[in-house]
Amino acid sequence: MAYAFTEGKEYKIDYSKIKKTLIDQAKENIFHFDHNLETYLDSWIKLLQECESLSIEQILTNTQHYQIVETFRIFHQDINYDGQKIKIHFNAELIANEINYSQATVHSYEVSDFSDDNAQFLWTKTEDSIFPLSESPILAVPFKSGFHTYLVIDGNHRVTEWVKTHEKIPVILLRTNDPMLNQAIFSSIFDEMFYTFIFDCHIMSIYRNLEPNLPDGNLFSKSYLNTGVLDDTL
């Protein structure tokens, strides 16, 4: 069982739906794997299931961790696999409170990077806020989904308003191991590992496109499953 922090309850993941979705994509030449795809996915599923158990144990036994995630605002992004939604949770408020905005590198993006059909940024449209909006830059992390390259984890209310009123939108891009952060970006080890799984699939497809004749064994040697390192710069 995984834990939905924003709902305060456990939920069940059907990994067969995840596997089916990715295998179907492979058949459509989106994922670009050969016959060892199932072995790769089975290895990831085993690791994700282990992280599920570790996360639930942490929530049930670590009172301090539970109080933190209950006290501070968490952002979650749903990932859809064959009608099933998997939730990735980010410690949005903890991270926003910790960042030194005067020293962070702020990038300026066109509104079209948020509003076009093939926009770089994936974000969640919100209702009009009844509170004054912060002028702080929004926070985003690398995220590979369709055309999207980044995911907004803090500032969706601002983006909702700014796409109507601004020409440029200020953004601070965070990395999962960002040296300016002491707080964990993710709310649990499962959230971190599922994010890593999504990225690893993307990285594998990039390597397959770059080297179509690379043997599967050589390809898999570049996976997080073998290196233990997530390269979220691609």
Q: Is the pLDDT of residue 68 over 70?
A: no
Q: Quick check: is 179 in a domain?
A: no
Q: Quick check: is 97 in a domain?
A: no
Given 173, 197, 213, the domain boundary residue is: 173
User: Taking Cα atoms as reference points, which of 200, 193, 185 lies closest to residue 54?
Assistant: 193
- Residue 187: CB atoms within 10 A of its CB come to 27
pLDDT tens per residue, range 109-141: 999 999 998 899 999 998 876 667 788 999 999
Query: Which residue shows structure tokens 């209310």?
Result: 157
Q: Quick check: is 26 in a domain?
A: yes
7 with 84, same domain?
Answer: yes
Q: The tokens of 145 are what?
A: 């989904």
- Residue 154: CB atoms within 10 A of its CB come to 25
Given 148, 173, 198, the domain boundary residue is: 173
Radius of gyration of the chain (CA): 18
79 with 108, same domain?
Answer: no
For residue 166, the enclosing domain spans 104-173
Q: Quick check: is 232 in a domain?
A: no
Those residues with Cβ within 8 angstroms of residue 21's Cβ, 6 or more apart along the chain or in another chain: 81, 82
| pLDDT value for 31 | 53
158 with 200, same domain?
Answer: no
Q: Any idea which of 23-27, 38-42, 55-59, 168-172 has the lowest mean pLDDT?
A: 23-27
Number of domains present in the structure of the chain: 2
7 with 87, same domain?
Answer: yes
Mean pLDDT across 58-73: 68
